[in-house]
Amino acid sequence: VLVNLGNNAVKFTEHGEVVVRVEVLESECEQIKLHFTVSDTGMGISSAEQGKLFQSFSQADTSTTREHGGTGLGLAISKKLTEMMAGEIWLESEEGVGSTFHFTVCLGVQEGDAPGRLSAASELASMRALVVDDNASSREILSSMLERFGLRIDVVDSGESALALLEQADAADPYQLVIMDWQMPGMNGITTTERIQTNQHLQALPTVIMVTAYGREEARAAAGDISISSFLTKPVTPSSLLDALMVSRGKEVFTETRAGRREEEVDAAVARLAGAKILLVEDNEINQELALELLTMKGMRVTVANNGQEALDLLEQQAFDGVLMDCQMPVMDGYEATRRIRQQARFQSLPVLAMTANAMAGDREKVLAVGMNEHISKPIQPRELFGSMARWIVPSQPLASAVEKPVVGSDSDNERQAFPDLAGINIRAGLAICGDNEDLYRRLLHKFRDQESDYVTKFTTAQRDNDAELMARCAHTLKGVAGNIGATGIQQAAAALELACQGNAAAEEFEPLLEAVVSALAVTMAGLAALEAEAPNQAAALVPDQFEGVIKRLRALLEDDDTAAAELVDELKNLPATAAYSDELSALASAIADYDFDIALDTLARVEKAIANAGD
C-alpha cells in the first residue's frame, strides 16, 4: 500500500515534496493499530473526482493517463488490502495544493525483545544539537529522530540564523553538533560550515554532519578541505543518522545491518541448494532465461519444460529435487499439472513451488490448494527465490559449495558498456532482479524488444476470437516479463488489463486499458532503441588469434549446454570484420536462446567455415 501511494505521490508531484508518516493509534499486548499518511504538494484532486478513486478500472482524471500512466487499479487494490488488515483508507485533497492519503492497519506485535540498536545512543543524551535546513518537513523529521536519541534540539531555516544562534549559545550552553543541509537559499551549508569554523567569536566549535538531497560524493567534493564529520543523503534514516552521530563521537558503529544479515541468509540458502536438480516449468523465453541463469550460476542443474504436460513427461523420465512451476501456461497450466503430480504417491513429497505474477493473497491460497508448497511472486527477487527454495528443496547430490561461474570474455568491469537512460525502465530494479548480471540484463532487454513488439496484434487477435483465457494469459505474461526487466509502467498497465479479462469486463472497458498498455509499450520500446549497438569498424581486419580464442571458448560452452555462450556470441559480433556474418550470428544466438545446443553447434561450424573461406 505504501509503495502504491508513494509512487502516485511522486508521479503527480512535479515540484515539491512527499512525506510519509506513521503513528500509533491503539496498542495492546499482542496487537497494534497504526495510522499511515502519505502527503504530497502536487496537483491535488477535486471533490467531484475523489469519489471515483478507489474503484477498479477508473482514474479520477482520465486525461492524465497518457502523461502519467495507470488506471487507478492500484488504489482499488490498496483499499482491499487495508480492509483485509482490519483498516480503512481515505483521502484529503485540494486542487493546486496537494493530497494526503490516510490508511490504518491492525498488526501483530513482534514477539521477544526489541533489537538493542538504540542502546548505543545512551551516551548521546543531553548533547545539544542544531538542525539547519530550509525545508520545514526535513527539519521536523531530523529533529524528531535526534530527540528519540535523547539530544536537546533547536532548529533554524538558514545559515545566517545558525551563525547567530551558535554565537548566542557559545558562552553558557554551546552546541556540540550541527546537522547541516547542503543546498539552501542564500548561504549554503558548506559556506555556513566554513563561516562557523573560522568564526573568532566561537570558543566551542561544533561537529558538523552534512545532509543532502544530492549525491554524497558531490557534496564531499564541494566541501573540499572543510572539516565535516559525515555526509548523509536524504531521506535520512534513524540508523544512518545514529551511525553518523557515533562516528562524530569517535565510537565504533554497529555494523550488523539488516542488509548484511539478509546477504548472509541468501549465501546460506544458496549453499544449501548447490547441486540440486530443478525442473523449471515456464512457457515464456524471457522468464526462462532469467530463472535458468540465476539458478545455474548458483550451482544448480536445471531442466526446462514449456508447459505442464512437458513437465509431467519429464517427471516420468527423470528424478528431480524440486519443481518451479509457472501457473498460467498453454497446453496445461501449472494448477492442473500440480494436481496430476500430487495424484501420484511417489510425488507426494516432491517440492513444487509456484512462480507467478499474481501476488494477491487469494492467489497464494489457490496455489496451496492444488498442492504446491509455496508461492513465489514475479518479478523474481533472487533473495526471495533462493530463500523459498532452500526451505523446501534438499539436493539429492549436493555440491560442497555453490561456485559462481567465471565471467565469460575478457572485459574488465571498467570496460563494460554503461547502460544509457532507458525511458520507461527502472534499470536499477531490473539489474537487481538479474542478480546484477549486466550481460544477462542486456539479453533480456533485447529479447523483450523482439518478442513484445507485436503484443497488440496478439492481444487483439485473441479479443477478436473471443478467447478470454488467451487474452488474460497475454496480459499476464506481459505483466510478468515487464516486471522482470523493470518496466513498471507496462507492468501496471498489463495488470489492469489482465484483471479486466478475468472479470469478464464489457468490451468498451478494454479500449482505455489496452490504450494504456500501448502507450506504456511505446515509451519503453523507444527507450530500448537506445541499446542498439554502434556499427563495428568494418575497415579493420580480422585478428585470427582473437577470433579463434572466442570460437574455442564458445564451442566448449555449447558442448556443455551452457547458456553463458550467448555472451560470447555478443563478443563475436563486436569483433572487427564479422558484421558481414550478422545473420548467421543472430541464428546462433537464437538457437542458444531456444536451448537447442545441437543446432547452435552446427551453426557455429558454418560461421567458422564462412569466415575461414572469406580469409582465403
Q: Considering the chain, what percentage of its residues have pLDDT values greater than 70?
A: 82
Q: Which of these ranges, 21-30, 75-84, 313-322, 396-405, has the smallest mean pLDDT?
A: 396-405
Which three cell numbers mark 602? 552446427
The reported pLDDT for the residue numbered 121 is: 56
Instruction: Say if residue 105 is exposed, middle or buried (CB neighbours under 10 Å; 0-12, 13-18, 19+).
Output: buried
Kindly tell me if the per-residue pLDDT of 55 is higher than 70. no
pLDDT tens, position by position, 288-302:
888 888 898 888 899
The reported pLDDT for the residue numbered 58 is: 45
Kindly tell me if the per-residue pLDDT of 594 is higher than 80. no
Most confident listed range (251-255, 330-334, 374-378): 330-334
The DSSP result for 100-161, as a single string, is EEEEEEEEEPPPSPPPSGGGGGGGGTT-EEEEE-S-HHHHHHHHHHHHHTT-EEEEESSHHH
What mean pLDDT comes out for the span 500-509?
A: 74
In whole angstroms, what is the distance from residue 163 CA to residue 161 CA? 6
In one-letter notation, the amino acid at residue 19 is V
SS3 state of residue 176 = coil
Kindly tell me if the per-residue pLDDT of 95 is higher than 50. yes
407 pLDDT band (50/70/90 cuts)? very low
Q: Which of these ranges, 167-176, 314-323, 421-430, has the smallest mean pLDDT?
A: 421-430
Stronger pLDDT, 237 or 353, i.e. the higher one: 353
The reported pLDDT for the residue numbered 358 is: 64
Kindly tell me if the per-residue pLDDT of 60 is higher than 50. no
Most confident listed range (73-82, 167-176, 467-476, 580-589): 167-176
Q: Which residue has the cell 500509533?
A: 24
The reported pLDDT for the residue numbered 178 is: 96
The reported pLDDT for the residue numbered 609 is: 77
Q: Considering the chain, what percentage of its residues have pLDDT values greater than 90?
A: 28
Q: Which of these ranges, 114-118, 212-216, 460-464, 536-540, has the smallest mean pLDDT?
A: 536-540
Residue count (the chain): 616
Q: How far is CA 385 from the centre of its chain?
A: 14
For the chain, first and last CA: distance in Å?
66
What mean pLDDT comes out for the span 552-564?
A: 76
Q: Which residues, 6+ apart, have CB-to-CB distance to 39 below 8 Å? A: 9, 18, 19, 20, 21, 98, 99, 100, 101
In 41-97 the beta strands, taken as DSSP E runs, fall at: 89-94
In one-letter notation, the amino acid at residue 49 is E
Most confident listed range (11-20, 174-183, 230-239, 521-530): 174-183
pTM above 0.85, yes or no: no
The reported pLDDT for the residue numbered 546 is: 60
The reported pLDDT for the residue numbered 184 is: 92
11: left (phi over 0), alpha (psi -120 to 50) or beta: alpha
The reported pLDDT for the residue numbered 73 is: 61
In whole angstroms, what is the distance from residue 595 CA to residue 607 CA? 19
SS3 state of residue 209 = strand
The reported pLDDT for the residue numbered 210 is: 94
Q: Which of these ranges, 133-147, 349-363, 446-460, has the smallest mean pLDDT?
A: 349-363
CB 37 within 8 A of CB 21: yes
Please report which residue ranges of 536-596 form alpha helices under DSSP H.
Answer: 544-559, 565-573, 582-593
The reported pLDDT for the residue numbered 281 is: 95
SS3 state of residue 423 = coil
CB 55 within 8 A of CB 26: no
Kindly tell me if the per-residue pLDDT of 400 is higher than 70. no
SS3 state of residue 212 = strand
CB 191 within 8 A of CB 183: no
The reported pLDDT for the residue numbered 508 is: 72
Which three cell numbers mark 415? 570496460
Q: How far is CA 11 from the centre of its chain?
A: 17
The reported pLDDT for the residue numbered 607 is: 77
Task: Compute the mean pLDDT over every residue in the chain, rounded to the nearest whole number.
Answer: 81
CB 517 within 8 A of CB 497: yes
Kindly tell me if the per-residue pLDDT of 61 is higher than 70. no
88 pLDDT band (50/70/90 cuts)? very high
pLDDT tens, position by position, 145-170:
998 888 899 999 999 999 999 999 99
The reported pLDDT for the residue numbered 11 is: 83
Stronger pLDDT, 548 or 341, i.e. the higher one: 341
CB 74 within 8 A of CB 8: yes
What mean pLDDT comes out for the span 420-435?
A: 83
In whole angstroms, what is the distance from residue 168 CA to residue 249 CA? 24
Least Cα distance to 542 among 533, 532, 551, 555 occurs for 551
The reported pLDDT for the residue numbered 402 is: 41
- Which residues are 348's β-sheet partners? none
Stronger pLDDT, 105 or 504, i.e. the higher one: 105
pLDDT tens, position by position, 183-238:
899 899 999 999 999 999 898 899 999 998 877 778 888 888 898 998 998 888 88
Stronger pLDDT, 83 or 421, i.e. the higher one: 83
